[in-house]
Structure 1
Amino acid sequence: MRSPLAIAVGVILLGMAPSPAPATTPTPPPPPPGRSSTVAGTAVTWGVSPSSPKGPNGRAMFTYKLDPGARLTDYVAVTNHSARPITLSVYASDAVTTPQGGFDLLPAVRRPVDVGSWVNLTARTLTIPSTSRVDVPFTVTVPANATPGDHVGGIVASLAATTTDAQGNRVAVDHRVGTRIYLRVTGELRPALALEDVRIRHHGSLNPFGGGDVTATATVRNTGNVRLGTQPMMDVAGPLGLGAGTASGTALPEILPGGAVRTTVRLSGAPPLFRLAVTTAVTPTAVDGQVLDPPPDTPSHRVTVWAVPWPQLLLVVLVAGAVWAFMAVRRRRRQRAAENLDRAIAAARDQGRAEAAATTAPATSPLRITTTGEGPPPSGPDNAPTPTATPQAGP
C-alpha cells in the first residue's frame, strides 16, 4: 500500500543563459539551459533570464543599486524549449547561503521577507507554447526603511510534477529554475566576518618519523551588510616557533549577509612537539570586483592543543632499552672476563708455588744443647745455667 502523497523541492539553477527566441515567433529550441525535467513521460525544458520588453539583453543576473524608497520596472524572460506547452508558476524569493557555501532560494512554502518581497510580478502563472518565450514585467520597490547593503534573491519559474520514489510512494516534486537578483541599497557599508564554533583537533601518526594532522573546523558568518568572500587560513607552531606550518582551506567565493558556512582547514605533517599553538583566521575579500575601503578586520582564533609524540616516545624508550641491554650485557661480559682472568692468574700462581715447593725442599738438622763453664754463674735466685745450642754435622 502506498503512503500519502509526499512533497519535495527540486534544485534551483540560477543565472541561466538567455534565449535568443522572440516572444511571438516560435523557433527551434536552443541547447538545454541547464535544467531538464521529465513530466508524464515527456521531457520538458525551460529557462529564466533577465530581459527587456523586446527580449533577453545579455545580462546574466539582475543587478541594481537603489536608494531607500526607490522603484523600478524590469523584465524577466521565461522560455519554453520543449516541444509541448507547459504551465509554470513564477515568483520571487529571498536567497540564502547553504551550510556548504552554495547559493539557494527559500522553499516555495516560505514567504520572503527581504528583496523577494519587494518584487511584484504582473503574472504568477504562465502557460507558454512550445519553443516560445514570454517576457514578464515586474516592479522592484525598495522600502523607505530598507537597511543599507546587499539584498539578494531571485525570480523562479517552477513546474510541479509527481513521481514515484524508491519505496513506491507518490512524491510531488517542485522543479525550479531561476535567475539571481543582487540589489544594493545605498548607505553605510559594514563588511565584516566572524569565526564561530572553532574546533581544533590533533591526530597523531603511528609513524614515528612522520608528523600528525591538525584540523580546524569553524563556522564563518557574514555579520556585515555586504556580500563577502574569504579563504580560511591556519598557522601551526610549536614552542619557540619550532615546526611552524601554514595551511589554507577551500575558498569561499560568496557569503551573503547573515549567511554562514561551515569550513575545514587541515595541515598535514605537523610535528608533535607536545604543545602546538594553532591560529585560524579569515580575511574578508570583495566579490564582483568591489573595493572594500577601508579594509575590514581579519577575525582570528588562537588556541593551544596537546600534541604528545607517543610513537616517538615509544621509539625513544625502545632505543634506550636496547642501549641499556647492550651495555648491561657488555658490562657483564667484561666482569666475567675479569673474573676468569683473576681465577686463571690465581690458579697459575698457586700452581707455580706448588711446583717451587716440590723442587726446592728446605734442609733440616737435629739440635744438641750443651753448656759451657766459662764465666761466673749468673746471680739471682734462679742461678741456672743458660743453655746453648750447637749444630752437629751428622749423627
Structure 2
Amino acid sequence: MPFRTRAAVSGAVLAAAAVLLCPAPAGARPAAPGWSAAPAPGGGARPSPQDRPYFYLEGAPGTVLRDRLFLSNPSGRAVTLRLRGSGTGSWLALAAKEVTVPPRTRAGVPFTVTVPRNVTPGNHPGALIATGRGGQARVPVYLRVTGPALSALTVEDVSVGGGGGGAAGGGGPAVIRYALVNRGNTALRPKVALRAEGIFGEVLRRAARALPGELRPGQRMERTEKWPDPPGLDAVEIRVTATAEGGARGAASATYTAVPWGGAAGVAAVLAAGAGGWTVVRRRRTARETGPTVPRDGSGTAQVAPGGRELAITGSRAGAGRRAETATGSGSVPGSGARS
C-alpha cells in the first residue's frame, strides 16, 4: 500500500537521508551545479559502473513495486529538493515530497508503484522529477505490466497533396501524408513501406524502413513522405503499409488523379473553338436549304418591296387560289395590257 497509510515510514526516510553521509556517486548526472538525482545503485550502496540510468519495474496488475531514488549533494551547503511523479504519477507514492539534503551527503528516498488491477498489460512510462535550487532533474521510470501482450497497429488518414513549388500532378513534387496509431498494449517501433500503382503500371515503390522513435500504446504519430517525381498524367492509388514486432500490421490507401492542367486547358479551348465554328457553318447551310421567308399581311396578300417583283397570292383566306404576277415600280408586267 502507499506510504501515506503507514506513518512510521516517514520517520525512517528522514533518518536514512541524514545518515547516508558518503561521497556523491560519480556516475550521477547533475541537473544543476551542486546536486543530482538518479536511481539507487543496483549492486549495492556504493557507486559502480552498473549504476542505472533509469528505473525499470515489472509486475502484474494489483502488485506493489518498490525502489529508491538517490539525491546527491556534493556541495558545501544544504539543498532542499521537491519531488513528484509524472506520467504514471497517480501510481507513484514517494516517502517524502520534499527532502533537505545536507552538504556532501547522498539521501535515499524510497517510493512505491501500485499497479492498478484493471490496467492493460504492456509498457507504461513515467518519471520522477526533482526540483531545487538552480534547476530540475527528471529520472525515467519504465513500468511493464505483465500479462497477455497485444500488438496492434493501424494506418489512418492517407492523402496525397502538392508539396514544394507545385501541385500533385502539376509538374511539381507531391507529399504523402498518413498517421500511425498504436492500438495495442505494447510499445512498437514500426516500419513503413510505400507503393503507388497507376493506369500505366507501378510508379512508386519504397521498401519498408524503420521510423525514428517509439510508438507507445494509444499514441498517434503523423508522418509525411516526399514524392519528388509523381506522374504528370495518371490515376494513382497510394498504399501505405506499416509493420512492427509481435505481428502488428496495418495498411491504408488513397487515390488521386494527376492531370496536366495547362495542356487540358489548351485542349478545351480548341474543342470550344471547333464547336463554335461548326455551329456557324450549320446555321448557314440550313438557311440556304430553306430559302427566304415571304412575309404576309392579314388579308393573305404578299407584301412587295419597291422595285421588286414577286409572285403574290390574292384573295381572301377562304377562297385563295388565284395566282397573279404583280409588277411594282416603273416597269411593266409582261403579258399585261388592255383586252378588247
TM-score range, shorter chain: 0.5 to 0.7
1:300 corresponds to: 251
Give, in angstroms, the shift of residue 48 of structure 1.
Answer: 2.7
Alpha-carbon displacement from aligned partner over 1:36-83 (angstroms, at most 9, x marks no partner):
4xxxxxx55523334457255522222222122222321111223555
1:66 corresponds to: 59
2:22 corresponds to: 25
For 2:192 and 2:30, the matched residues in 1 are separated by 31
1:88–1:159: 8 Å Cα contact kept in structure 2?
A: yes
For 2:207 and 2:237, the matched residues in 1 are separated by 14
1:278-297 matches, within 5 Å, as: 278-285=238-245, 292=246, 295-296=247-248
1:236 to 196, 213, 233: 196
1:177 to 137, 162, 171: 137
Alpha-carbon displacement from aligned partner over 1:143-174 (angstroms, at most 9, x marks no partner):
3333222222111112377xxxxxxxxxxxxx
1:49 corresponds to: 39
2:37–2:139: 8 Å Cα contact kept in structure 1?
A: no
2:177–2:224: 8 Å Cα contact kept in structure 1?
A: yes
1:146-225 matches, within 5 Å, as: 146-159=119-132, 175-203=135-163, 212-225=172-185
Write the letter of the residue equivalent to 1:309. Answer: P
For 1:33 and 1:154, the matched residues in 2 are separated by 16
Is 1:227 the counterpart of 2:227? The answer is no
2:159–2:176: 8 Å Cα contact kept in structure 1?
A: yes
Larger RCO of the pair (alpha carbons < 8 Å, separation 6+)? 1
Secondary structure of 1:271's partner? coil
2:91 corresponds to: 118
Is 1:75 the counterpart of 2:68? The answer is yes
1:139 to 70, 93, 112: 112
For 1:145 and 1:216, the matched residues in 2 are separated by 39
Write the letter of the residue equivalent to 2:125. Answer: V
TM-score (norm 1): 0.53
1:296-375 matches, within 5 Å, as: 296=248, 298-310=249-261, 313=263
Give, in angstroms, the shift of residue 310 of structure 1.
Answer: 4.7
RMSD: 3.5
Q: 1:233 to 1:87 in 2, by over 3 A?
A: farther
Q: 1:190 to 1:48 in 2, by over 3 A?
A: same
1:68–1:185: 8 Å Cα contact kept in structure 2?
A: yes
Secondary structure of 1:262's partner? strand
1:9-24 matches, within 5 Å, as: 23-24=20-21
Please, which runs of 5 or more residues in structure 2 have no aligned partner? Answer: 1-18, 268-340
Q: How many residues align?
A: 245
TM-score (norm 2): 0.61
1:190–1:226: 8 Å Cα contact kept in structure 2?
A: yes
Secondary structure of 2:173's partner? strand
1:272 corresponds to: 232
Percent identity over the alignment is 30
For 2:232 and 2:113, the matched residues in 1 are separated by 58
1:255 to 195, 204, 215: 215
Give, in angstroms, the shift of residue 248 of structure 1.
Answer: 6.8
2:23–2:74: 8 Å Cα contact kept in structure 1?
A: no
For 2:116 and 2:20, the matched residues in 1 are separated by 32
For 2:211 and 2:121, the matched residues in 1 are separated by 26
For 1:270 and 1:247, the matched residues in 2 are separated by 17
For 1:245 and 1:66, the matched residues in 2 are separated by 43
Alpha-carbon displacement from aligned partner over 1:198-249 (angstroms, at most 9, x marks no partner):
332144867xxx9642312233221111111113332233324243332778
| Residue range with higher mean Cα deviation, 126-135 or 64-73 | 126-135
Write the letter of the residue equivalent to 2:119. Answer: A
1:15 corresponds to: none
| Residue range with higher mean Cα deviation, 298-307 or 139-148 | 139-148
Alpha-carbon displacement from aligned partner over 1:122-161 (angstroms, at most 9, x marks no partner):
1111222345322211122223333222222111112377
Secondary structure of 1:227's partner? coil
Write the letter of the residue equivalent to 1:54. Answer: A
Give, in angstroms, the shift of residue 252 of structure 1.
Answer: 3.4
Secondary structure of 2:229's partner? strand
Secondary structure of 1:120's partner? strand
Structure 1 residue runs of 4 or more that deviate by more than 6 Å after TM superposition = 247-250
1:363 corresponds to: none
Alpha-carbon displacement from aligned partner over 1:341-360 (angstroms, at most 9, x marks no partner):
xxxxxxxxxxxxxxxxxxxx
For 2:76 and 2:55, the matched residues in 1 are separated by 29
For 2:64 and 2:108, the matched residues in 1 are separated by 19
